[in-house]
Amino acid sequence: MTEAKDPTARKPGKAQAKLFYRLDEVSRLANLDAGTIEGWEEEFSFLQAGQTASGKKIFRQRDLEIILRIKELIDRQGFTLAGAKRKIEEEFGLQPASTSFHPDKLKKALWQVRTELQDISRTLEKRPKKV
């Protein structure tokens, strides 16, 4: 007797493999409302839904896996959005949207640039001017 396969059944941590998922499918598979997913799309720059010709949002398999992992980190492990973002970037090998610098390092670099510009300015002032 062959067992009927449930299309929503999946291994823990793995979603059923498809190339693309519509927003309503992702919502159903992740047990999240569409608004939450769209909010996460704004919060997590690495989640980028595509669009069909008719304007409906579609997500890749990897996006679905990330959404499921975000949900697990927030709901089951108590992560904040920022903590979940860092964990996802680490686990999925994603680069943060922008590299941030410690304010002290940035301040030091700016002072060095300022000093170098002042040196250049003094050098230019010492040059004889052509008439």
**Tens digit of pLDDT for each residue in 83-128?**
999 999 999 888 755 556 677 788 888 899 999 999 899 888 887 7
Q: Indicate whether 130 pLDDT > 90.
A: no
In a domain, 83, yes or no: yes
Which pLDDT score is estimated for 16?
A: 57
How many domains would you assign to the chain?
1
pTM reported for the whole predicted model: 0.61
8 A C-beta contact, residue 20 and residue 12: no
Residue 42: which of 81, 15, 72, 91 has the closest Cα? 81
The whole-chain average pLDDT of the chain stands at 83
Distances in Å between the Cα of 117 and the Cα atoms of 90, 105, 112 are 39, 18, 9
In a domain, 50, yes or no: yes
In a domain, 15, yes or no: no
In a domain, 84, yes or no: yes
Which pLDDT score is estimated for 94?
A: 83
* Amino acid found at 65: E
Residue 15: which of 1, 2, 25 has the closest Cα? 25
In a domain, 130, yes or no: no
First-residue to last-residue Cα distance in the chain: 100
Four-residue CA torsion sign, 66, 67, 73, 78? positive
In a domain, 118, yes or no: no
CA distance 67 to 29: 10
In a domain, 104, yes or no: no
In a domain, 96, yes or no: no
Which pLDDT score is estimated for 108?
A: 85
Task: Give the confidence band of 38 by pLDDT, cuts at 50, 70, 90.
Answer: very high
State the number of CA atoms in the 13 A half-sphere of 38 facing the CB: 8
Query: How far from chain centre, in Å, is Cα 123?
Result: 46
Q: What is the CATH number of the domain that holds 63?
A: 1.10.1660.10
Mean pLDDT of 56-74: 95
Domain carrying residue 25: 20-91
* Amino acid found at 85: K
